[in-house]
Structure 1
Amino acid sequence: MADPHIKSEMDWLDILSVIVYRLGFVLAVPSILLLPWEVETGIPAQKMCFVAAAMCAACLHIYMKTFRLLLQATTWGGLICYVLGFGMFGLGGTFITLGGLCFKEYFCFKVPGLRAQPLILAGLWFSLVLDAPLVTQALAAVSALLFLIVSIAKWRMPLHFDIGDKTKYEV
């Protein structure tokens, strides 16, 4: 996680990676919200979730490489599962990444309920697997609202807050 009080010099790749990371949270809002109605609307909400998680995972700014690689691996593993025909397992991988990142962002923004996002996404995944429409709709709405709040909070802060001290990153 970055140190907001340190303003490292940012090149165009740093700026691009922060923008892509934040746009991943923005895309998570409609993709999670539309999951319960994917069949009825024809909107590929699951695929949108994969894109949102991939955007965030590809541009993580976390100092500790163990956590960074774990969150990236769950997205890429999820994508592999999806390609091999195990779509729900793949979606679970994206939920692990997105939920883990929300947990991380809680320590920056202290948004009430944000620490519960991993559990909400786990419940959403189980409700999709068990075909419980009302539970799915409720959990999707709560989760999308939390993604919306964290998206707004992220865009309100300067880009360098996401980068922090470049010398602290484990390579």
Structure 2
Amino acid sequence: MADPHIRSKMDKIDYLTVIIYRLGFTFCFPVIALLPWQAELPFVTVDLIEKLVFVCAIMCASSLHIYMKSFRLLLQMATWVGLICVLLGYPEIGLGGAFITLGGLCYKEYFCFKIPGLPFQPVILVALWFSLQFNIELTSIILSSVASLLFLVVSIAKWRMPLHFDIGDKTKYEV
């Protein structure tokens, strides 16, 4: 988490990771919105949208700027464990790992932006995961719409602030 009043010197890696992190949120908007519809889309192969959810989660997890090492590793590990589940043939469980990362990051971003509904994003994503697993179509459509709208709002808020806000005070990071 950043201290916006502190402007640490940023290198190219800092700029790159902040942009990758923000793009991960931005891409979540259309990807999460399409999750319930992936079977009906003619241009989409089976599970393509779920793979794109992982791309978004990996973009965010690989570029976290959170001071506390334990939280940073927890959010990163959820995506990596989820990816291992997918590789072992359990994509339905793996998607939950990506949702843990994305939901946790939305919860973190609430403290920066105070966007109404954002602290509930982890719960919305858990409910979306369950509705997708049990093929509850209407619930999946509603939850994916709400979740994707929240991703859109948070990504707009992220892109409106200067890049150095994501970095904060480099001396506070636990390595």
* TM-score category (smaller protein): over 0.9
Of 154, 159, 168 in structure 2, the residue corresponding to residue 164 of structure 1 is: 168
Matched, 1:127 2:131: yes
Matched, 1:68 2:43: no
Q: Does the residue aligned with 2:119 lie in a helix, a strand or coil?
A: helix
Instruction: For 2:96 and 2:82, locate their aligned partners in 1 and report how far apart those are by CA, in whole Å.
Output: 7
Provide structure 2 residue ranges, at least 5 long, that are not aligned to the other structure: none
Instruction: For 1:31 and 1:60, locate their aligned partners in 2 and report how far apart those are by CA, in whole Å.
Output: 20
Q: What residue in structure 1 maps to residue 25 of structure 2?
A: 25
Q: What residue in structure 1 maps to residue 40 of structure 2?
A: 40
State the identity as a percent. Answer: 65
Compute the displacement of 1:40 (Å): 1.1
Of 103, 113, 126 in structure 2, the residue corresponding to residue 109 of structure 1 is: 113
Q: What residue in structure 1 maps to residue 61 of structure 2?
A: 57
Compute the displacement of 1:45 (Å): 1.0
Runs of 4+ deviating beyond 3 Å: none
Q: What residue in structure 1 maps to residue 151 of structure 2?
A: 147
Provide structure 1 residue ranges, at least 5 long, that are not aligned to the other structure: none
Compute the displacement of 1:39 (Å): 1.1
Q: What residue in structure 1 maps to residue 7 of structure 2?
A: 7
Instruction: For 1:157 and 1:92, locate their aligned partners in 2 and report how far apart those are by CA, in whole Å.
Output: 30
Q: How large is the Cα RMSD of the aligned pairs?
A: 0.6
Instruction: For 2:29 and 2:92, locate their aligned partners in 1 and report how far apart those are by CA, in whole Å.
Output: 19
* Equivalent AA in structure 1 for residue 80 of structure 2: W
TM-score normalised per structure 2: 0.97
* Equivalent AA in structure 1 for residue 57 of structure 2: A
* Equivalent AA in structure 1 for residue 106 of structure 2: C
1:1-41 residue CA offsets vs partner (Å, 9 max, x unmatched): 11111000000000000000000001111110000011111
* Equivalent AA in structure 1 for residue 18 of structure 2: V
* Equivalent AA in structure 1 for residue 140 of structure 2: T
Q: Give the total of aligned pairs.
A: 171
Compute the displacement of 1:91 (Å): 0.3
1:94-148 residue CA offsets vs partner (Å, 9 max, x unmatched): 0000000000000000000000000000000000011100000000000000000
Q: Does the residue aligned with 2:39 lie in a helix, a strand or coil?
A: helix
* Equivalent AA in structure 1 for residue 40 of structure 2: E
Q: What residue in structure 1 maps to residue 102 of structure 2?
A: 98
